[in-house]
Amino acid sequence: MDDGISGIIADYSITAQTRHEENGGDDSNEISGNGTVGVNLGPWRMRADWQTNYQHTRSNDDDDEFGGDDTQKKWEWSRYYAWRALPSLKAKLALGEDYLNSDIFDGFNYVGGSVSTDDQMLPPNLRGYAPDISGVAHTTAKVTVSQMGRVIYETQVPAGPFRIQDLGDSVSGTLHIRIEEQNGQVQEYDISTASMPYLTRPGQVRYKIMMGRPQEWGHHVEGDFSLVLKPPGHR
Protein backbone atom coordinates (compact mmCIF):
# COMPACT_ATOMS: atom_id res chain seq x y z
CA MET A 1 0.00 0.00 0.00
CA ASP A 2 1.38 3.40 -1.03
CA ASP A 3 1.43 5.99 1.77
CA GLY A 4 1.67 8.87 -0.69
CA ILE A 5 4.05 11.80 -0.36
CA SER A 6 4.65 13.91 2.73
CA GLY A 7 3.27 17.42 2.68
CA ILE A 8 1.25 20.19 4.31
CA ILE A 9 -2.42 20.85 3.61
CA ALA A 10 -4.75 23.78 4.32
CA ASP A 11 -8.48 23.55 3.66
CA TYR A 12 -10.86 26.42 4.37
CA SER A 13 -14.32 27.86 3.77
CA ILE A 14 -14.99 31.60 4.19
CA THR A 15 -18.39 33.33 4.28
CA ALA A 16 -18.89 37.11 4.36
CA GLN A 17 -22.03 39.19 4.61
CA THR A 18 -22.94 42.83 5.14
CA ARG A 19 -26.17 44.36 6.35
CA HIS A 20 -27.47 47.93 6.21
CA GLU A 21 -30.59 49.14 7.99
CA GLU A 22 -32.26 52.30 6.74
CA ASN A 23 -33.71 55.08 8.88
CA GLY A 24 -30.85 55.26 11.31
CA GLY A 25 -30.44 51.52 11.89
CA ASP A 26 -27.25 49.57 12.38
CA ASP A 27 -24.70 48.62 9.77
CA SER A 28 -22.93 45.32 10.30
CA ASN A 29 -20.25 43.28 8.58
CA GLU A 30 -19.55 39.67 9.42
CA ILE A 31 -16.90 37.23 8.25
CA SER A 32 -16.90 33.61 9.40
CA GLY A 33 -14.79 30.68 8.39
CA ASN A 34 -13.75 27.15 9.21
CA GLY A 35 -11.28 24.65 7.92
CA THR A 36 -8.52 22.17 8.54
CA VAL A 37 -4.74 22.35 8.52
CA GLY A 38 -2.52 19.33 8.67
CA VAL A 39 0.59 17.40 7.80
CA ASN A 40 1.00 14.09 5.96
CA LEU A 41 4.13 12.33 7.21
CA GLY A 42 4.65 8.80 5.94
CA PRO A 43 1.57 6.76 6.86
CA TRP A 44 0.40 9.35 9.42
CA ARG A 45 -2.22 12.03 8.80
CA MET A 46 -2.21 14.78 11.46
CA ARG A 47 -5.00 17.36 11.45
CA ALA A 48 -6.33 20.36 13.38
CA ASP A 49 -9.78 21.86 12.74
CA TRP A 50 -10.35 25.59 13.26
CA GLN A 51 -13.20 28.06 13.15
CA THR A 52 -13.32 31.83 13.36
CA ASN A 53 -15.80 34.70 13.39
CA TYR A 54 -15.39 38.47 13.03
CA GLN A 55 -18.35 40.82 13.45
CA HIS A 56 -18.31 44.61 13.31
CA THR A 57 -21.45 46.63 14.06
CA ARG A 58 -21.85 50.38 13.72
CA SER A 59 -24.87 52.26 15.02
CA ASN A 60 -26.21 55.13 12.89
CA ASP A 61 -28.75 56.21 15.50
CA ASP A 62 -27.65 59.53 16.99
CA ASP A 63 -30.09 59.07 19.88
CA ASP A 64 -28.56 55.79 20.94
CA GLU A 65 -26.50 56.52 24.05
CA PHE A 66 -24.71 53.23 23.54
CA GLY A 67 -24.07 54.00 19.88
CA GLY A 68 -20.75 53.66 18.16
CA ASP A 69 -18.73 50.73 16.93
CA ASP A 70 -18.79 47.25 18.38
CA THR A 71 -16.34 44.59 17.25
CA GLN A 72 -16.34 40.93 18.23
CA LYS A 73 -13.62 38.47 17.24
CA LYS A 74 -13.33 34.77 17.89
CA TRP A 75 -10.81 32.16 16.80
CA GLU A 76 -10.59 28.64 18.17
CA TRP A 77 -9.09 25.28 17.41
CA SER A 78 -12.00 22.89 17.66
CA ARG A 79 -10.31 19.51 17.23
CA TYR A 80 -6.87 17.88 17.13
CA TYR A 81 -6.48 14.36 15.76
CA ALA A 82 -4.29 11.97 13.78
CA TRP A 83 -4.78 8.66 12.03
CA ARG A 84 -3.03 6.07 9.93
CA ALA A 85 -4.02 2.97 7.97
CA LEU A 86 -3.31 -0.55 9.21
CA PRO A 87 -3.35 -2.40 5.87
CA SER A 88 -2.73 -5.87 7.30
CA LEU A 89 -5.87 -5.52 9.45
CA LYS A 90 -7.93 -3.59 6.87
CA ALA A 91 -8.37 -1.10 9.70
CA LYS A 92 -7.58 2.45 10.79
CA LEU A 93 -5.82 3.66 13.95
CA ALA A 94 -7.03 7.08 15.17
CA LEU A 95 -5.64 9.19 18.05
CA GLY A 96 -6.79 12.44 19.61
CA GLU A 97 -10.25 14.00 19.69
CA ASP A 98 -12.86 11.93 17.89
CA TYR A 99 -16.54 10.93 17.84
CA LEU A 100 -17.71 7.40 18.58
CA ASN A 101 -20.39 6.51 16.05
CA SER A 102 -22.44 3.39 16.66
CA ASP A 103 -25.52 1.69 15.16
CA ILE A 104 -26.37 0.24 18.58
CA PHE A 105 -25.94 2.95 21.25
CA ASP A 106 -25.66 6.73 21.41
CA GLY A 107 -22.40 8.21 20.17
CA PHE A 108 -20.28 10.72 22.06
CA ASN A 109 -17.12 12.82 21.73
CA TYR A 110 -14.00 11.50 23.40
CA VAL A 111 -10.24 11.98 23.72
CA GLY A 112 -8.19 8.83 23.27
CA GLY A 113 -7.53 6.25 20.60
CA SER A 114 -9.45 3.78 18.49
CA VAL A 115 -8.91 0.94 16.06
CA SER A 116 -11.71 0.25 13.60
CA THR A 117 -12.22 -1.68 10.41
CA ASP A 118 -12.35 0.43 7.26
CA ASP A 119 -14.46 -0.78 4.33
CA GLN A 120 -12.67 1.68 2.04
CA MET A 121 -9.67 -0.68 2.06
CA LEU A 122 -11.75 -3.40 0.41
CA PRO A 123 -12.63 -3.69 -3.28
CA PRO A 124 -15.98 -1.97 -4.02
CA ASN A 125 -17.75 -5.28 -4.59
CA LEU A 126 -16.75 -6.54 -1.10
CA ARG A 127 -17.83 -3.52 0.95
CA GLY A 128 -20.84 -3.52 3.24
CA TYR A 129 -23.28 -6.43 3.31
CA ALA A 130 -24.68 -8.47 0.43
CA PRO A 131 -26.41 -11.86 0.41
CA ASP A 132 -24.43 -15.05 -0.03
CA ILE A 133 -25.76 -17.16 -2.95
CA SER A 134 -24.92 -20.87 -3.12
CA GLY A 135 -26.02 -23.81 -5.18
CA VAL A 136 -24.89 -26.86 -7.13
CA ALA A 137 -24.17 -27.06 -10.85
CA HIS A 138 -24.20 -30.52 -12.44
CA THR A 139 -22.11 -29.32 -15.40
CA THR A 140 -20.29 -26.12 -16.30
CA ALA A 141 -23.08 -23.57 -16.00
CA LYS A 142 -24.00 -19.93 -16.31
CA VAL A 143 -25.48 -18.38 -13.15
CA THR A 144 -27.62 -15.28 -13.56
CA VAL A 145 -28.89 -13.15 -10.67
CA SER A 146 -31.72 -10.78 -11.51
CA GLN A 147 -34.14 -8.53 -9.67
CA MET A 148 -37.48 -7.42 -11.07
CA GLY A 149 -36.36 -8.59 -14.52
CA ARG A 150 -33.04 -6.72 -14.44
CA VAL A 151 -29.80 -8.72 -14.52
CA ILE A 152 -27.49 -7.55 -11.72
CA TYR A 153 -24.87 -10.33 -11.78
CA GLU A 154 -23.77 -13.07 -14.17
CA THR A 155 -20.92 -15.56 -14.02
CA GLN A 156 -19.71 -18.97 -15.20
CA VAL A 157 -19.19 -21.72 -12.60
CA PRO A 158 -17.65 -25.22 -12.92
CA ALA A 159 -19.53 -28.40 -12.09
CA GLY A 160 -20.10 -28.89 -8.36
CA PRO A 161 -21.04 -26.64 -5.46
CA PHE A 162 -20.59 -22.91 -6.00
CA ARG A 163 -20.82 -19.83 -3.87
CA ILE A 164 -21.23 -16.20 -4.92
CA GLN A 165 -20.01 -13.69 -2.30
CA ASP A 166 -19.13 -10.59 -4.33
CA LEU A 167 -22.51 -9.00 -5.06
CA GLY A 168 -22.65 -5.22 -4.56
CA ASP A 169 -23.81 -3.91 -1.16
CA SER A 170 -26.84 -2.18 -2.71
CA VAL A 171 -28.53 -5.53 -3.39
CA SER A 172 -31.57 -6.31 -1.22
CA GLY A 173 -35.09 -7.64 -1.59
CA THR A 174 -36.10 -10.69 -3.63
CA LEU A 175 -33.51 -12.07 -6.06
CA HIS A 176 -34.16 -14.54 -8.87
CA ILE A 177 -31.43 -17.13 -9.48
CA ARG A 178 -31.16 -18.93 -12.83
CA ILE A 179 -28.64 -21.74 -13.43
CA GLU A 180 -28.27 -22.78 -17.07
CA GLU A 181 -26.43 -26.10 -17.40
CA GLN A 182 -24.24 -26.99 -20.35
CA ASN A 183 -26.53 -29.95 -21.07
CA GLY A 184 -29.56 -27.66 -21.43
CA GLN A 185 -31.08 -28.16 -17.98
CA VAL A 186 -32.21 -25.04 -16.11
CA GLN A 187 -32.67 -24.49 -12.38
CA GLU A 188 -34.55 -21.43 -11.13
CA TYR A 189 -35.41 -20.25 -7.63
CA ASP A 190 -35.91 -17.06 -5.60
CA ILE A 191 -34.20 -15.92 -2.41
CA SER A 192 -35.26 -13.11 -0.07
CA THR A 193 -32.64 -10.83 1.43
CA ALA A 194 -32.62 -8.04 3.99
CA SER A 195 -30.01 -5.47 4.99
CA MET A 196 -29.45 -4.53 8.64
CA PRO A 197 -26.79 -2.23 10.15
CA TYR A 198 -25.05 -5.09 11.98
CA LEU A 199 -24.72 -7.51 9.07
CA THR A 200 -21.52 -8.20 7.20
CA ARG A 201 -20.41 -10.71 4.61
CA PRO A 202 -19.57 -14.28 5.64
CA GLY A 203 -15.95 -14.57 6.74
CA GLN A 204 -15.60 -10.85 7.46
CA VAL A 205 -15.73 -8.96 10.76
CA ARG A 206 -16.39 -5.29 11.44
CA TYR A 207 -15.41 -3.80 14.78
CA LYS A 208 -14.39 -0.63 16.61
CA ILE A 209 -12.36 -0.55 19.81
CA MET A 210 -12.11 2.79 21.62
CA MET A 211 -10.12 3.75 24.71
CA GLY A 212 -10.36 7.25 26.18
CA ARG A 213 -12.38 9.75 28.19
CA PRO A 214 -15.64 11.51 27.20
CA GLN A 215 -15.13 15.08 26.07
CA GLU A 216 -17.19 18.24 26.36
CA TRP A 217 -16.94 21.26 24.06
CA GLY A 218 -13.72 23.24 24.33
CA HIS A 219 -11.30 20.31 24.82
CA HIS A 220 -12.58 19.62 28.36
CA VAL A 221 -12.75 15.97 29.38
CA GLU A 222 -15.15 14.50 31.91
CA GLY A 223 -15.82 11.14 33.50
CA ASP A 224 -13.56 8.16 33.90
CA PHE A 225 -11.32 6.41 31.42
CA SER A 226 -13.42 4.06 29.29
CA LEU A 227 -12.95 1.05 27.06
CA VAL A 228 -15.70 0.55 24.47
CA LEU A 229 -15.95 -2.46 22.20
CA LYS A 230 -18.40 -1.95 19.38
CA PRO A 231 -19.94 -5.38 18.67
CA PRO A 232 -18.69 -6.82 15.40
CA GLY A 233 -20.91 -7.18 12.39
CA HIS A 234 -21.95 -10.75 11.79
CA ARG A 235 -24.27 -12.89 9.83
Range of the domain at 168: 130-193
Residue 59: inside a domain:
yes
Q: Report strand pairing: 69-86 vs 226-233.
A: unpaired
Q: Counting every residue, how long is the chain? A: 235
| Same domain? 71 vs 170 | no
Angle in degrees, CA 99, 105, 106, rounded to 5: 50
Residue 2: inside a domain:
no
In 3D space, the residue among 87, 84, 79, 112 whose CA is nearest the CA of residue 228 turns out to be: 112
| Same domain? 112 vs 225 | yes
| Same domain? 111 vs 31 | yes
| Same domain? 172 vs 89 | no
Residue 1: inside a domain:
no
Residue 212: inside a domain:
yes
| Same domain? 78 vs 149 | no
pLDDT in tens, 110-136: 888 999 888 777 776 666 677 778 889
| Same domain? 229 vs 189 | no
Number of domains in the chain: 2
Q: Can you tell me the mean pLDDT for 141-158?
A: 89
DSSP E strands, 60-107 = 69-86, 91-100
pLDDT in tens, 39-92: 999 999 999 999 999 998 887 665 555 556 788 899 989 889 999 999 888 889
